[in-house]
Amino acid sequence: MKSMQATQEEYFSFLRSVSLLRDLPEEKLAKIVDCLEIDYFDKGDYIIREGEEGNTFFIIAKGEVCVTQTMEGCTEPQEIKTLGVGDYFGEKALISEDVRSANIISIENDTQCLVVDRDNFNQIVGTYEELQAYLREYVEELSRCDERRNAL
Ligand code: WNU
């Protein structure tokens, strides 16, 4: 029977297709492949809960998720965007050393996420200045988006 598990090589070329990782040196990408875990989620599953502590970074390998967030004046968290294959999330809690700032909910069955823990994330991103600078800027932009939404 053919294994359902993708080969290391398939992960390697998938990761190369992720815009964030496009310019990473070969050996760093290989390191991510070595430390990867895969998590599977069904429709409606919470991958991340706003306000909880988090120590992981995710890359979507299959399926779709939606991002929702508490908003002033709303009783229910509001949907702010959807993410699909090749998109990533969870970097903000790691970079700002804060709790999770939004919910991430699987909106398909069999959504698959590649998961990188904080230590590996720091080793990969922390030793690659351009990537670190890019993510820091992006995270600041997200905070501004959060403020703007709540100011409406
Ligand atoms: C947003 N506000 C906040 C997204 C993913 C990656 C990048 C946008 Cl580089 P976390 C919750 C996660 C958070 C982000 C993600 O949700 N997120 C947002 C927003 O407008 N978070 N506060 N949009 S999708 C996205 C840019 O990854 O990281 O660890 O957990 O706080």
In short, whether 145's Cβ falls inside 6 Å of ligand 1 is yes
Residue type, 67: V
Report the pLDDT value the prediction gives residue 84, as an integer from 0 to 100.
98
Residue from 59, 69, 80, 92 to probe ligand 1 pocket by mutation (most atoms less than 8 Å from CB): 92
Over residues 68-123, the pLDDT tens digits come to: 999 999 999 999 999 999 999 999 999 999 999 999 999 999 999 999 999 999 98
In short, whether 59's Cβ falls inside 6 Å of ligand 1 is no
Domain extents in the chain: 37-151
Architecture of domain 37-151: Sandwich (2.60)
Report the pLDDT value the prediction gives residue 152, as an integer from 0 to 100.
58
Report the pLDDT value the prediction gives residue 98, as an integer from 0 to 100.
95
Nearest CA residue ID for atom 8, ligand 1: 89
In short, whether 60's Cβ falls inside 6 Å of ligand 1 is no
ipTM over the 0.90 cut-off: yes
Residue where the block lists tokens 């790691």? 94
Over residues 14-69, the pLDDT tens digits come to: 999 999 998 888 988 998 999 889 999 999 999 999 999 999 999 999 999 999 99
